[in-house]
Amino acid sequence: MIPRSELKNELMNAGIRPSVQRLAIYEFVKNHPVHPTADVVYAALRDELGSLSLTTVYNTLKLFVDAGLVQMLTIDDTLRCFDGDTSSHAHFRCDNCGKIVDLKIKNEFLTMVDGLAGFEVKEAQLYLKGICPLCRNKK
């Protein structure tokens, strides 16, 4: 768990005013590595933060994404998930149970992509889809 004081500093260093709502949303995505959607974050914080709306949650998460503090996963085109872990890693989405699993990936993986000379890569995502071991064993 990253302490709240440290998270507050991260927001301020990124030029984001750490309001109570923003800090709570940031703390949730940083300390819950489950790739939550805005709905999940909203449901988790709604009681704690009385005046919260789903739109505020989504816009706040987008603010963090634009500041490079959080990444947005579009592995499922109907579902935007947020990931507080901005380090280089790949994601596997199980077609059966829907869970999204983190996979380690070496930072140099882009050197394995041909034809990138002259391009400036600003973001790279590696998505894998299929059936997870748990679901495979159930069949």
Choose from Zn ion, Mn ion, none: what does 25 bind? Cβ within 5-8 Å by kind: none
- Choose the one of Zn ion, Mn ion, none that binds residue 102, judging by a C-beta under 5 to 8 angstroms depending on kind: Mn ion
Judged by beta carbon, residue 2 or residue 101, the one nearer Zn ion is 101
Q: Which long-range contacts (CB under 8 A, 24 or more apart) does 97-105 make?
A: 97/132, 97/134, 97/135, 99/132, 100/35, 100/73, 100/75, 101/132, 102/33, 103/128
Any contact of residue 135 with Zn ion (CB under 5 A)?
yes
> In sequence order, what E strands does 43-126 have?
71-76, 79-83, 89-94, 100-104
Q: How far is the CB of 34 from Mn ion (least distance, A)?
A: 9
Least Å distance, CB 47 to Mn ion, is 26
Residue 38: how many CB atoms within 10 A of its CB? 21
Residue of 37, 63, 102, 105 interacting with Mn ion (CB under 5 A): 102
33 and 101 Cβ atoms separated by less than 8 Å: no
Asked if 93 touches Mn ion (CB under 5 A), the answer is no
Sheet order of strands, 89-94 included: 100-104, 89-94, 127-130
**Where does this chain touch Zn ion (CB under 5 A) — which range of 28-36, 50-58, 104-112, 131-139?**
131-139
- In the window 56-115, what residues touch Zn ion (CB under 5 A)? 94, 96-97
DSSP 8-class letter at 44: H
Smallest gap from Cβ 103 to Zn ion, in A, equals 14
Work out what residue 83 binds among Mn ion, Zn ion, none; the CB cut-off runs from 5 to 8 Å by kind.
Answer: Mn ion
Q: Which residues bind Zn ion (CB under 5 A)?
A: 94, 96-97, 132, 135
